[in-house]
Amino acid sequence: MEIKPQTIKVVVSEEIFDHMPKAEAEEQYKYLMSVLHGRTATCRPVVLSTKRFCESEHTIFLLHRNIIVGTGQISLADTFPTPHVYINNIVISPFVQKLGLGARLMRELSMLAVRKWGGDDRTLRLELTNNPNKKNAGFYYVQGFRARADGRWPVLVLKQVLNFLGWKAEDETVVWVKEV
x/- track of binding to ligand COA for residues 73-92 (CB under 6 A):
-----------------xxx
Instruction: Give the residue, chosen from 138, 151, 154, 166, that forms a contact with ligand COA under the rule CB under 6 A.
Output: 138
Instruction: Give the residue, chosen from 29, 61, 139, 145, that forms a contact with ligand COA under the rule CB under 6 A.
Output: 139
Nearest CA to 111 among 87, 94, 91? 87
Helix residue spans in 38-173 (DSSP H):
39-43, 101-117, 137-142, 153-164
Residue nearest ligand COA, Cβ-based: 102
Question: Does residue number 29 form part of the binding site for ligand COA (CB under 6 A)?
Answer: no
Classify 174 as helix, strand or coil: strand
Give the whole-angstrom CA distance, residue 108 versus residue 72: 9
Give the whole-angstrom CA distance, residue 134 versus residue 53: 28
Dihedral angle, C-alpha 140, 142, 143, 149, nearest 10 °:
50
Nearest CA to 117 among 105, 125, 108? 125
Instruction: Give the residue, chosen from 4, 39, 51, 98, that forms a contact with ligand COA under the rule CB under 6 A.
Output: 98
Instruction: Give the residue, chosen from 1, 54, 77, 142, that forms a contact with ligand COA under the rule CB under 6 A.
Output: 142
Query: Residue 103 or 147: which CB sits closer to ligand COA?
Result: 103
| Shortest Cβ 154–ligand COA spacing (Å) | 30
Instruction: Give the residue, chosen from 42, 56, 133, 136, that forms a contact with ligand COA under the rule CB under 6 A.
Output: 136
Contacting positions for ligand COA (CB under 6 A): 35-36, 90-92, 97-103, 130, 134-136, 138-139, 142
